[in-house]
Structure 1
Amino acid sequence: MEAMERRKTAADRVRVAEGVVEQLREGLAEFGVKLPSLRIDPVSCAGDEPTPLVDLGRCNIGTALRLCEVLAEKESGHDG
């Protein structure tokens, strides 16, 4: 029974991480930012008690600059 509970807890953690990745993807898209490699790090989901990590991935310089612009706009109180 305890092993089943651990598997359920692990699956719940992964589901939460998947939701966070989707929320990030949608939120960034509203500002014209797409991180092509945004995903859950598969290695962090391995084992009996995974601790999923969100991998923001790699992006080109244009995307990084756009992300900087969005952050600067939010910091100054202007919505893009």
Structure 2
Amino acid sequence: MPDSRPATPAQLKVKEAMDARDALATALTRAGIQLPAMDIRTPWAEGARYAFVHLGQCSAPVAHALAEVITRGASR
């Protein structure tokens, strides 16, 4: 049975970050790029404004491929 309680601000921030991570992963996959790890990080401090999409580490070739895709998209 689904939880009928309203989501807390922190839960909404995590959901927003998860949706952004998933959208970015989909876009990168379409461009032929895969980052080794994409995760959600939360500062958990009182009053934290955001949950963060952590892109992890990537190799130099992947970083260059990502830069090329961004440059091509920015020039449109």
What does residue 18 of structure 1 align with?
18
Distance 1:48 1:11, change over 3 A: farther
After superposition, the CA RMSD in angstroms is 2.2
Segments of structure 1 that go 5 or more residues without pairing to the other structure are none
Query: Which residue matches 1:73?
Result: 72
Between 1:48-57 and 1:65-74, the stretch displaced more is 48-57
CA distance in 1, matches of 2:15, 2:63: 27
Question: In proportion to residue count, which structure has more helix?
Answer: 1
CA–CA separation in structure 1 for the residues paired with 2:19 and 2:32 = 20
Residue type at the aligned position of 1:60: S
Runs of 4+ with >3 A deviation: 47-50
Q: TM-score, normalised by structure 1?
A: 0.72
* Structure 2 residue runs without a partner (length 5+): none
Aligned residue-pair number: 71
If the length of structure 2 is used for normalisation, what is the TM-score?
0.75
